[in-house]
Structure 1
């Protein structure tokens, strides 16, 4: 592959892999890399003295006034209900809204495959690397849309608690967004690098024609 395209493509895929992998670990192992955060004012605490909720890919964790963390042991497709003192009905984020978060770890695996394929100089393998990069980008795009839907759902539900909850995307949300951009950039650079190699190969295979004698109009009169 043309070196000017090869190295950036590999770097893009490596960075996307690292960011996507960290986002996939998420809660409860990396508390700082959650998808959605909900903070409650101290003057209007919800039930059980919860001051903050952090939604990750595998679970949701709650924090109290002392920054003590409690995480649900639910794993894939979890469900969380919370109730405030001002509201008689609890709000619940069901499994249907968290089940799709598993797409991000799948996208991470495809990104790893694309990175390994991009290390090869074989033309066919680089074509597969480009296709794998675009597939990883599509999966990251789907994962990002799922997280946007989860964020919108949580924000809408927390408004019904009447406690002025502040809902915002977490760091893991933005890591997935950056991974999405990097995988598409990598797919483009790998693809263009392959096209440039094809052009060079075709140019090298062409044999220049050097006529041994000029064949003009007056050459026919020469002896």
Structure 2
């Protein structure tokens, strides 16, 4: 593949792989890389299980588990697995409890799938064979599609949590977290990487065609050369 396009394509896919991998680890392994974050006031409560409702100051939802922070900043995470449940309550009205069901968090497991496909595209991008680079481009676009699905799931989860929190009337703020934006950045990089690899293959094919099929001199040109040569003689 053309060297001018090969290196940028590898760089794009490398960055996309790193970001996708970090977003896939998420909570509880990387506390700072959650998907959705809820910040409560001093009168808000929340829990990551169906048990009691202790007073917390912040709730973070990751790919593998939710984590809650008390007023002193101590972190408590639920057991890590995909498809967890979260309950958030209003201490002034114990009848108001919002529940985020496992059906909404189970789809977050798409993140590591996107990472795996991105890794395959990353490995294929090192090949100089034209056919394999074409496959690398297709795999990069496939990884972008899966990442887009993961990002759509993140958006849906954020919208659901925000709607549930607003319904409790507890003055809490729901925001997108760093893991949310890492997924978006990975999506953009995958699209750039796929396009770069694809254009690099096209340029290489055009370059090969020019090298293998040089311009031929026409018969008239050869005849004119002979006449010119005789005249000079």
Normalising TM by the smaller chain, what interval? over 0.9
**Distance (whole Å) between structure 1 residues aligned to residue 215 and residue 10 of structure 2:** 36
- Could you tell me which residue of structure 1 aligns to residue 9 of structure 2? 9
Partner of 1:36: 36
Is structure 2 residue 219 aligned with structure 1 residue 213?
A: no
The alpha carbon displacement at 1:120 in A equals 0.3
Contact 2:44–2:172 (8 Å) recurs in 1: no
Check conservation: 1:86, 1:162, Cα contact below 8 A: no
Encode CA deviations 1:148-185: one digit per residue, 9 max, x unaligned: 00000000001122211100000000000000000000
**Residues 142/19 of structure 1: CA separation in 2 closer, same or farther (3 Å cut):** same
* Post-superposition offset of 1:74: 4.2
Deviation at 1:207? Answer: 3.2
**What does residue 159 of structure 1 align with?**
166
- Mark the runs of 5 or more structure 2 residues left unpaired by the alignment: 46-52, 226-233
Q: 1 CA distance for matches of 2:17 and 2:33?
A: 15
Do the aligned residues in 2 keep the contact of 1:21 with 1:108 (CA within 8 Å)?
yes
Q: CA RMSD in A?
A: 1.2
**What CA distance in whole angstroms lies between the structure 2 residues aligned with 1:71 and 1:15?**
29
For the residues of structure 1 that align with 2:98 and 2:17, how far apart are their CA atoms?
Answer: 35
Which position in structure 1 is the counterpart of 2:157? Answer: 150
Q: 1:20 matched to which residue of 2?
A: 20
User: TM-score, normalising length from structure 1?
Assistant: 0.93
Moved over 6 A (4+): none
The residue number in structure 1 matching 2:44 is: 45
SS across alignment from 2:67: strand
Matched-pair contact (CA < 8 Å) for 1:27–1:56: yes
Q: In 2, distance between residues paired with 1:12 and 1:66?
A: 41
Query: Structure 2 CA distance, aligned partners of 1:164 and 1:45?
Result: 8
Cα deviation 1:68-127 (Å, max 9, x = unaligned): 111110411111112221231311100111111111110001111001000000001000
The match for 2:231 is: none
C-alpha contact 2:64 2:81 (8 A) present in aligned 1: yes
> In the TM superposition, what is the alpha-carbon distance from 1:50 to its structure 2 partner?
1.0
Aligned residues: 214
- Match for residue 63 of structure 1 among 58, 63, 69: 69
1:123 corresponds to which residue? Answer: 130
Structure 1 unaligned regions, length at least 5: 216-223
How far apart in 2 are the matches of 1:126 and 1:202?
17
Q: Partners in 1 of 2:175 and 2:139 — Cα distance? A: 32
Distance 1:72 1:175 in 2: 23
TM-score of the aligned structures, taking structure 2 as reference length: 0.89
| Equivalent residue, structure 2, for 1:219 | none
